[in-house]
Amino acid sequence: MIAACDGASKGNPGPAAWAWVVADAQGRPERWEAGPLGTATNNIAELTALQELLESTDPGAAIEVRMDSQYAMNAVTKWLPGWKRNGWKTSAGKPVANRDLVTRIDALLSGRTVTFVYVPAHQVDGDPLNALADQAASEAAVTQQAAGTLHGSPLPTPAPSRASGSRSGGGTAAKKATGAPRAGATIRARFAGRCHCGKPYAAKDMIAKNPNGWGHPECRSAPA
């Protein structure tokens, strides 16, 4: 089984969400899910995404998990044994952050065959499953609504990727790399603005083109 998971936080801490995508052996997405977290940090969102993925998949099946969070991956593959030995203290003697999530993930990993693969985010020719999970988490963080296969939601459209070394977060950069965005496509806002729904969006939030201008992805088909 091949899967990817990701978390998003608009402000870190700020409106946050988690998402995962499960694919078949050929890498074709089969099902996905995303859920809101209210206000949370990016690290909490990343760990929650992994927890939700493990809870939603067959523990008897070997699974490859693709992630772009080195923190979440290292927490459960490298740092965890040392934290346990030190009484859940870091090497600096401080309490381990997000211990409840790490403990839950540790229990979910017990007896399972799980391979973790780090994949850089937002790269041209990057991992397509990670791109889907990233977009799903980002949109759920904005809407604070659950989405996914069981909700009848269509697969999200990943934002345009950027080449390694390019500046992040600019709608202009995305246009130069990929051409003019197609109708309904999502990009990261270069500047803060206001959607036609009346609510604002921040710089680097995901936005989409609609007949009334740029706004929240969920407002693409909403009337002005």
pLDDT tens per residue, range 96-139: 999 999 999 999 999 999 999 999 887 777 899 999 999 999 99
The pLDDT of residue 164 is: 44
Read off the pLDDT of residues 5-16 as tens digits, 9 standing for 90 and up.
Answer: 999 999 999 999
Backbone angles phi, psi at 222, to 5 degrees: -80, 140
Phi-psi label, residue 137: left if phi above 0, alpha if psi -120 to 50, beta otherwise: alpha
The 10s digit of each residue's pLDDT in 20-46 is: 999 988 889 999 999 999 999 999 999
Residue 162: predicted pLDDT: 56
pLDDT of residue 73: 96
Exposure of 183 in the CB half-sphere (CA atoms within 13 A): 4
User: Count of residues for the chain?
Assistant: 224
* Residue range 147-179, pLDDT digits in tens: 999 999 999 888 776 544 443 333 333 333 334
Please tell me the distance from the alpha carbon of residue 56 to that of residue 132, in angstroms, as a whole number: 17
Question: In the predicted model, is pLDDT for residue 145 greater than 50?
Answer: yes
**Best CA proximity match to 220, nearest among 168, 166, 132, 142:** 142
pLDDT at 188: 77
Give the residue with greater pLDDT, 215 vs 129. 129
Provide the percentage of residues in the chain whose pLDDT is more than 90.
62
| pLDDT the model gives residue 222 | 55
For 67-83, how does the pLDDT look when each residue is reduced to its tens digit (9 = 90+)?
A: 999 999 999 999 999 99
pLDDT of 141: 95
- The pLDDT value recorded for residue 195 is 76
Cβ-contact 136, 149 below 8 angstroms: no
